């Protein structure tokens, strides 16, 4: 194992819009991957819509950058108004002129996100939005999609024209009044690559957030914070994708000045465990893991039948955002390593 590199980074859960389960459509109760619970579309609806099915597998929209994507759409939304900070094709309203909200979400396995685990999703950036329109991803403690009032919400990330004025935002306990903080990351990369959101649990209530425009990763935004205090302060065990109040390109016949590129396109979602990399360098072994996991300690044992785990010396040094430890290879003796969570 020490002749090269070794790193165990297990997928706890994974699902992709391209999974064959969704070939005939996307609906509640489906699960094309593993680990996550089945999809729920509960609490979707509008002011006059009697059909609350507002989700589809979109392969045809010219505004879908992924070709195949889980897609939330709105049959009742109004067209975005023209003017900064967003682009808009016109000032007229595309009937029907009600407001609307689409939701899709699913359970996170094993009682919720654990310290050392990272939830990741790849989504398209919105190409068109205006005041009180946009979309959010909500990580919450609960048993179904988040509702109005955000009962159980622990962290929210999104592009939404109320809190952030053209910017992405995140909410958390480090934000003023547990409110919403606009990031320096403006709406970027609306072409084929999209945006990757990574939320890593660095403790039971602390997280490391990364928002990466995949077409320009050099401008990625990072943030370290604490989860919001909520009525239910349990672990993050549910994720909800939300689309607010926007007209949809699914309804071109109803759009004399549209349709608008406002649907919510979702490509993938995964949960990964913490990765400990091991590499042999001459007579030494080099061990490394991401430096933002500050509550983890490297320990070792000489056997796994009755292990006695002891802290490894020396303490790690930070090199290129990685905690790095160099140990000599102990001759013929066995040595096992792992990361131990200590908060």
Res 249: pLDDT: 76
Residue 312 within a domain: yes
For residues 43 and 167, state if they share a domain. Answer: yes
**Last residue of some domain: 218, 250, 272?**
272
For residues 292 and 146, state if they share a domain. Answer: no
| Total structural domains within the chain | 2
Res 69: pLDDT: 95
For residues 134 and 251, state if they share a domain. Answer: yes
Residue 4 within a domain: no
Distance CA(247)–CA(245), nearest Å, equals: 7
For residues 191 and 91, state if they share a domain. Answer: yes
For residues 285 and 202, state if they share a domain. Answer: no
For residues 180 and 69, state if they share a domain. Answer: yes
Residues of the chain with pLDDT under 50: 1-4, 82-96, 176-177
For residues 250 and 297, state if they share a domain. Answer: no
- CATH assignment at residue 25: 2.60.120.200
Res 2: pLDDT: 42
Residue 6 within a domain: no
What one-character-per-residue DSSP string does 73-88 give? Answer: --SSPBPPPSSTTS--
Torsion angle of the four alpha carbons 159, 214, 28, 38, in this order, in degrees rounded to the nearest 10: -120
**Last residue of some domain: 272, 298, 319?**
272
Res 70: pLDDT: 97
Res 91: pLDDT: 44
Contacts of 293 (CB under 8 A, 6+ apart): 116, 200, 202, 208, 274, 323, 339
Residue in 63, 64, 55 with CA at minimum distance from that of residue 26: 55
Residue 26 within a domain: yes
Per residue in 201-254, pLDDT (tens digit) is 999 999 999 999 988 899 899 999 999 887 677 899 999 999 887 667 776 655
pTM more than 0.85: yes
Residue 284, domain extent = 276-341
Res 8: pLDDT: 52
Res 244: pLDDT: 84
């Amino acid at each position: 194992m020490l002749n090269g590199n070794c790193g165990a980074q297990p997928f706890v859960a994974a699902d992709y819009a391209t999974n064959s389960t969704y070939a005939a459509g996307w609906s509640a109760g489906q699960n094309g991957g593993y680990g996550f619970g089945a999809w729920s579309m509960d609490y979707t609806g509008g002011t006059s819509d009697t059909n609350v099915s507002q989700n589809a597998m979109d392969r045809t929209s010219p505004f879908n950058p992924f070709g195949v994507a889980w897609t939330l759409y709105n049959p009742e939304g109004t067209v975005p108004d023209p003017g900064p900070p967003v682009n808009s094709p016109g000032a007229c309203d595309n009937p029907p002129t009600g407001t609307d909200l689409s939701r899709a979400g699913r359970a996170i396995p094993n009682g919720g996100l654990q310290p050392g685990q990272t939830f990741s999703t790849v989504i398209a950036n919105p190409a068109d939005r205006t005041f009180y329109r946009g979309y959010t991803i909500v990580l919450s403690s609960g048993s179904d999609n988040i509702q109005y009032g955000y009962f159980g919400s622990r962290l929210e990330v999104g592009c939404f024209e109320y809190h952030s004025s053209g910017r992405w935002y995140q909410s958390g306990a480090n934000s003023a009044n547990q409110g919403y903080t606009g990031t320096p990351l403006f709406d970027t990369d609306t072409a084929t690559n999209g945006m990757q959101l990574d939320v890593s649990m660095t403790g039971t209530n602390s997280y490391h957030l990364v928002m990466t425009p995949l077409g320009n990763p050099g401008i990625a935004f990072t943030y370290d914070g604490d989860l919001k205090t909520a009525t239910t302060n349990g672990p993050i065990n549910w994720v909800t994708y939300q689309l607010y109040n926007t007209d949809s390109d699914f309804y071109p016949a109803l759009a004399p000045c549209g349709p608008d590129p406002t649907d919510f396109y979702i490509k993938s979602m995964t949960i990964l465990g913490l990765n400990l990399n091991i590499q042999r360098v001459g007579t030494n072994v080099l061990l490394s893991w991401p430096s933002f996991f500050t509550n983890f300690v490297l320990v070792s044992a000489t056997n796994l039948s009755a292990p006695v785990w002891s802290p490894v010396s020396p303490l790690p040094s930070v090199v290129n955002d990685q905690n790095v430890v160099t140990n000599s290879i102990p001759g013929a003796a066995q040595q096992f390593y792992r990361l131990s969570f200590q908060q």
